[in-house]
Amino acid sequence: MEIDVDSMSLEDLRNLRTQIDRAISSYETRRRKEAMAALERTARELGFNLNELTSPSSRGRRGGAGEGQAKYAHPENPSQTWSGRGRRPRWVTEQIESGKSLEDLLA
* Domain assignment of residue 67, yes or no: no
The residues, ordered by sequence, that sit 6+ positions from 77 with a Cβ below 8 Å of its Cβ are 91
Whether residues 45 and 85 share a domain: the answer is no
Structural domain that includes position 33: 8-57
45 and 15 in a common domain? yes
Q: pTM for the whole thing?
A: 0.44
pLDDT tens-digit profile of 19-72? 999 999 999 999 999 999 999 999 899 888 888 888 776 555 554 445 568 899
Whether 3 maps to a domain, the answer reads no
- Domains held by the chain: number: 2
Is the pLDDT confidence value at 78 over 50? yes
Domain annotation covers residue 64:
no
